[in-house]
Amino acid sequence: MVDSTESESRRLLGRLREAMAGDAPGQARLDKITHLIADSMGTEVCSVYLFRDDETLELCATEGLNVESVHQTRMRIGEGLVGRVAKYGKVVNTPDAPNAKGFRYMPETGEERYSSFLGIPIQRLGEMMGVLVVQSKEAREFSSDAVYALEVVAMVIAEMTELGAFVGEGAALSPLHQQPVLLHATAAQEGAAEGHVWLHEPRVVVTNPIAEDPHRELQRLTEAVEELRVGVDKMLKISENGDKDQLQVLETYRMFANSKGWMRRMEEDISRGLSAEAAVEKEQSQARARMSQVQDAYLRERLSDLDDLSNRLLRILTGQGAETGAELPENPILIARNIGPAELLEYGRSLRGIVLEEGSVGSHAAIVARALAIPLVVNAKRITTEALNGDHIMVDGDQGIVHLRPDETVVSAFRDKIAMQADAQERYASIREKPAITRDNARINLLMNAGLMADLPSLEGSGAEGVGLFRTELQFLVRNQMPKRSELVTLYQRVLDASHGKRVVFRTLDIGSDKVLPYMKPTDEPNPALGWRAIRVGLDKPGIMRMQLQALMRAANGRPLSIMFPFVAQFEEYRAARLEVDKTLERERILGHPLPERLEVGAMLETPSLAFAPHKFFDEVDFLSIGGNDLKQFFFAADRENERVRKRYDTLNVSFLTFIEQIVERCVRSGTPLSFCGEDAGRPIEAVCLAATGIRTLSMRPASIGPVKSLLMRVDLSEVRKLILDCRHRGDQSVRPAIMRYLREI
Ligand code: PEP
Ligand code: MG
């Protein structure tokens, strides 16, 4: 066994490049590669395993193992030593493979004869593509130099795989970026969309991973890094007096751009035979692999800064992606790993759909997508590596499904779905001006939720009778710095103007938990959903609350005003907040500003505790609105952000409906107006059941008003109520099966 030195590494890469240069079929190339590596490393075995699908690795070429097992031997990710390398993205280096943890005996390959095993992940920009393995009879651990040499080779194989070098007749792989791909992800905003891929960050393709002349590559790297440094310094200069956070990010960039460790690793990669861009990408890949393992949010952020910087460097080196003014394709569907709310707002309504590789249902981007009514799918694994600009794509925001480069049958089925939705929208338009009255004459008020200026046109278009929840924090979240009072006055004024006298309920700043202001120092809390959030922040930092109350009163400018405090858990909190309102009112009076014609101050019931507040609270509060999203998460102790438990408990659970009914009864007794403004208000079946418990006002996203109204008009609430009581009597867990049967029959 010969451990590789730098010059041997370079020689091996040189031979690999020659093997690639001819127009041999893909399989022949892979065979040649394994032969060359085994020869150069002095091992009996070299094998390449590549992913067949998300879960399965396949032996695609080997020198030394039984050739019959090529394309026959497969293993699931995590299975055997090879599967372990793929699962954890980490090197496995052992002198005694048969006794190593996780070893799986595969008789068809004849591999039990080999003692040492070195497995290296083949990965590109954090995407696992396969595993490169060398084995030998002699029992010894491979040196760190040998590991490094093989990492460089694995990087080249990853690039070659990406470039399609191993496809062709009898080949190991089908061509990349040409096949239809179906991705099951998470639905975050409903609706179906068809269009063409627009990558938020265009992919940089490295076509020359191996270079002949390391001196030249070093020079190219040094020049590019210099250009990068100058660029960062320039940006720093421009932002010197600007936003503190942006400045901080740029400082981090500068730190990386001047980092000796980063430079040294890339220089070493180059001296092993990689081109400058391949060296940058190798470091970037490893940073991304680390990123997926790091839990600490701060460190993840820094790794993501490094990722961003590597992208800039790659663009300088390849000249790709630097073109400005590239035009969005027709019906653009935005693809990104993640995107901030402000960037998303910049795209605005020009987008037909959005697919995010990461993201979450409750993220700020999701909130903006909802406000813009653009179908959104999150958690779409591999989408940024699979999709190419301009690819045909279909997004199903109801099911959380993405069809990339769909075939004909999928296209026609999907278009039928879009057509059906369009028909339904037409039907809803025809009842837009009608009130929602059930068959047994119950009148339900349907209001809309809003938070951005972009929402307001929906007040006309949806038939909403007002805004039941205006989430004021969105305006704070989409900015890079705290808005000024005068800006808020203008904004709230525009909201009130656009509502033409319809009631708008402004919810005061609801931050904390999942809603972290980009410019506020993050607090490290063990359990943010139960932590310092919403009214708790407001009362502890009354300055912001006072500014907001003042802005609301000035915007009302003599008109009626409705204010609502979020996340009130006990009477005292409401009292303290109300005191702030009264004080602000008094101050405005002294300053000579016109006071609101009528002022109502409500509270959101989002914690079970408030349902048990003293009678006096129900008497004093002007109105209550159930924040079902939060109330449900606390009722069932199931985190609304946690995909694992989020859907575990049904809103139609009999106990939950019984609890809602008790709140309704308390409000009826005290004459307190009550509404429900969580997401469930906008789900037709849930809305019907909520109405059957006695809720008479529902506030939802505008697009839900049509479907909810349409179903409400078809049902008899006394019948639904009877169904709920029967379920309770029988001890059923959920009302859902019974209500579904009922709806099928009416
Ligand atoms: C809720 O909790 O139901 C609610 C409407 O508030 P948010 O979703 O903004 O927390
Ligand atoms: Mg809430």
Co-location of 368 and 499 in the same domain: no
What pLDDT score does 2 carry? 46
Rounded distance from Cα 604 to ligand 2 centre (Å): 8
Q: Which atom of ligand 1 is nearest to the CA of 362?
A: 8
Q: Is residue 427 part of a domain?
A: no
CATH code of the domain containing 398 = 3.50.30.10
pLDDT band for position 437 (50/70/90)? very high
Co-location of 440 and 371 in the same domain: no
263 phi, psi to nearest 5 deg? -60, -45
Asked if residue 677 has its Cβ within 6 Å of ligand 1, the reply is yes
Token output for 665: 């009864």
pLDDT band for position 173 (50/70/90)? low
Asked if residue 473 has its Cβ within 6 Å of ligand 1, the reply is no
What pLDDT score does 216 carry? 94
Mean pLDDT of the 659-688 span? 97
CA angle centred on 637, ends 400 and 613, rounded to 5°: 125
Q: Is residue 429 part of a domain?
A: no
Q: Which of 170, 211, 293, 213 is nearest to 13 (CA)?
A: 211
Give the least confident one: 143-147, 283-287, 676-680: 283-287
Report whether 69 contacts 106 (CB < 8 A): yes
Q: Is residue 325 part of a domain?
A: no
What pLDDT score does 463 carry? 92
Q: With 80 as the cut, is the pLDDT of residue 466 above it?
A: yes
Q: Which residues pair with 76 in a beta bridge?
A: 56
| pLDDT-above-90 percentage for the chain | 53
Listed in sequence order, the residues at least 6 apart from 356 whose beta carbon sits closer than 8 Å to its beta carbon are 335, 336, 337, 338, 339, 365, 376, 377, 378, 379, 380, 383
What pLDDT score does 326 carry? 67
Give the strand order in the sheet containing 192-199.
181-184, 401-404, 392-396, 192-199, 332-336, 353-356, 376-378, 186-189
pLDDT band for position 577 (50/70/90)? very high
Task: Tell me the pLDDT tens digit for each residue of 290-304.
Answer: 776 777 666 667 777
Asked if residue 538 has its Cβ within 6 Å of ligand 1, the reply is no
Co-location of 474 and 585 in the same domain: yes
CATH code of the domain containing 454 = 3.20.20.60
Asked if residue 683 has its Cβ within 6 Å of ligand 1, the reply is no
Co-location of 89 and 116 in the same domain: yes
Asked if residue 362 has its Cβ within 6 Å of ligand 1, the reply is no
* Residue 364 falls in the annotated catalytic set: yes
Report whether 97 contacts 115 (CB < 8 A): yes
Asked if residue 471 has its Cβ within 6 Å of ligand 1, the reply is yes
Report whether 392 contacts 405 (CB < 8 A): yes
Q: Which of 391, 339, 338, 346 is nearest to 372 (CA)?
A: 346
Co-location of 236 and 385 in the same domain: no
Co-location of 154 and 253 in the same domain: no
Task: Tell me the pLDDT tens digit for each residue of 581-596.
Answer: 999 999 999 999 999 9
Residue of higher predicted confidence among 103 and 577: 577
CB atoms within 10 A of CB 591: 9
Q: Is residue 285 part of a domain?
A: yes
Which residue CA neighbors atom 4 of ligand 1 most closely? 627
Q: With 70 as the cut, is the pLDDT of residue 176 above it?
A: no
Co-location of 652 and 573 in the same domain: yes
Q: With 90 as the cut, is the pLDDT of residue 107 above it?
A: no
Report whether 11 contacts 150 (CB < 8 A): no
Q: Which residue among the candidates 46, 60, 667, 677 is catalytic per the annotation? A: 677
By most ligand atoms within 8 Å of CB, the mutation choice from 361, 474, 604 for ligand 1 is: 604
Q: Is residue 614 part of a domain?
A: yes
Q: With 90 as the cut, is the pLDDT of residue 489 above it?
A: yes
Q: How far is CA 529 from CA 99, 191, 533, 627, 629, in A?
A: 46, 29, 8, 14, 12
Last residue of a domain, one of 406, 425, 450: 406
Furthest-apart CA pair in the chain: how many Å?
92
Nearest bound ligand to the CA of residue 678 = 1
Identify the sign of the CA torsion 176, 181, 186, 188: positive
Say which DSSP state 341 is in: H
Q: With 80 as the cut, is the pLDDT of residue 522 above it?
A: no
Rounded distance from Cα 644 to ligand 2 centre (Å): 20
Rounded distance from Cα 475 to ligand 2 centre (Å): 16
Report whether 374 contacts 352 (CB < 8 A): yes
Residue with tokens 């910087």, as numbered in its chain = 309
Rounded distance from Cα 220 to ligand 1 centre (Å): 53
Co-location of 234 and 92 in the same domain: no
By most ligand atoms within 8 Å of CB, the mutation choice from 536, 630, 686 for ligand 1 is: 630
Co-location of 308 and 355 in the same domain: no
Say which DSSP state 272 is in: T
736 phi, psi to nearest 5 deg? -55, -50
Rounded distance from Cα 45 to ligand 2 centre (Å): 59
Q: Give the C-alpha separation, 134 to 34, whole Å.
A: 9
Listed in sequence order, the residues at least 6 apart from 666 whose beta carbon sits closer than 8 Å to its beta carbon are 611, 618, 672
Residue of higher predicted confidence among 416 and 248: 416
H and E: helices and strands count for the chain: 27, 23
Number of domains present in the structure of the chain? 4
What pLDDT score does 4 carry? 53
The protein residues having their C-beta less than 5 angstroms from ligand 2 (an ion) are 606, 627, 630
Asked if residue 629 has its Cβ within 6 Å of ligand 1, the reply is yes
Q: Give the C-alpha separation, 75 to 84, whole Å.
A: 10
Residue of higher predicted confidence among 701 and 306: 701
* Residue 35 falls in the annotated catalytic set: no
Task: Tell me the pLDDT tens digit for each residue of 283-334.
Answer: 888 877 777 677 766 666 777 777 778 888 888 898 876 554 568 899 999 9
Co-location of 657 and 584 in the same domain: yes
Give the least confident one: 257-261, 623-627, 675-679: 257-261
Asked if residue 680 has its Cβ within 6 Å of ligand 1, the reply is no
Asked if residue 628 has its Cβ within 6 Å of ligand 1, the reply is yes
Q: With 70 as the cut, is the pLDDT of residue 169 above it?
A: no
Q: Give the C-alpha separation, 279 to 275, whole Å.
A: 6
Residue of higher predicted confidence among 643 and 372: 372
Q: Is residue 502 part of a domain?
A: yes
Domain with 150, as residue range(s), is: 6-173
Co-location of 680 and 658 in the same domain: yes
Round the average pLDDT of the chain to a whole number and report it. Answer: 88
What pLDDT score does 627 carry? 97
CATH code of the domain containing 52 = 3.30.450.40
Q: Which residue among the candidates 364, 667, 689, 727 is catalytic per the annotation? A: 364
- Cα 590 to its chain centre, rounded Å, is 48
What pLDDT score does 1 carry? 40
Q: Is residue 417 part of a domain?
A: no
Give the least confident one: 65-69, 234-238, 462-466: 234-238
CATH code of the domain containing 300 = 1.10.274.10
Co-location of 169 and 190 in the same domain: no
Q: With 80 as the cut, is the pLDDT of residue 258 above it?
A: no
What pLDDT score does 496 carry? 96
Rounded distance from Cα 629 to ligand 2 centre (Å): 6
For the chain, the residue count is: 746
SS (HEC) of 649-688: CCCCEHHHHHHHHHHHHHHHHHCCCEEECCHHHHCHHHHH
Token output for 269: 């990669």
Which residue CA neighbors atom 1 of ligand 1 most closely? 627
* pTM exceeding the 0.85 threshold for the entire prediction: no
Q: Give the C-alpha separation, 485 to 476, whole Å.
A: 12
Q: Give the C-alpha separation, 211 to 273, whole Å.
A: 6
